[in-house]
Amino acid sequence: MKKLGELFQSADWKTEKHTPMIEAPAAVKPGEAFEIKVLVGKEIAHPNTTEHHIRWIQVFFKPDDDKFSYQLASAEFTAHGEAVAGANQGPVFTDPVVLVKAKLTKPGTIYALSYCNIHGLWENAQPISVG
């Protein structure tokens, strides 16, 4: 049986529309607030229709010298054009974008996870230094 981590796919977000892209500074000052933006479909748009959409994005931080990671955010996208009138006839469609404000005291890695209802689990990571 595979472990959950083995089910995650990854690729360069510039060439794969499912990979979550992380926009965050490479370095921050200790205790100073900064923004982390995670989105799916920046270079290649993801459809986000009733039939094919990003269901959620989660963001984690793992300090370099810690055993465990810390969840920073979890966002669920629930409007994909569904309506009584039919698929893609609804009045609202959500785009998979998450904005998190955080403060760090240690360097580590930001991890972003996303889930496509058709193509499964995707991941990306970005190191961040503190100093």
Given 53, 80, 116, 123, which residue is catalytic? Answer: 116
Residue among 42, 46, 67, 101 flagged as catalytic: 46
- Whether 16 is catalytic: yes
Question: Is 18 in the active site?
Answer: yes
Residue from 16, 42, 62, 106 carrying the catalytic annotation: 16
Give yes or no: 76 in active site. Answer: no
How far is residue 83's CA from residue 81's CA, in Å, rounded to a whole number?
6
Of the residues 18, 53, 80, 123, only one is catalytic, namely 18
Q: Provide the pairing of β-strand 70-76 with 54-63.
A: antiparallel
Q: Which of 37, 42, 106, 119 is catalytic?
A: 119
Q: Given 52, 76, 101, 103, which residue is catalytic?
A: 52
Mark 77-109 as b/e (b = at least 16 C-beta within 10 Å): beebbbeeeeeeeeeebeebbbebebebeebbe
Residues assigned a catalytic role: 16-18, 46, 52, 116, 119
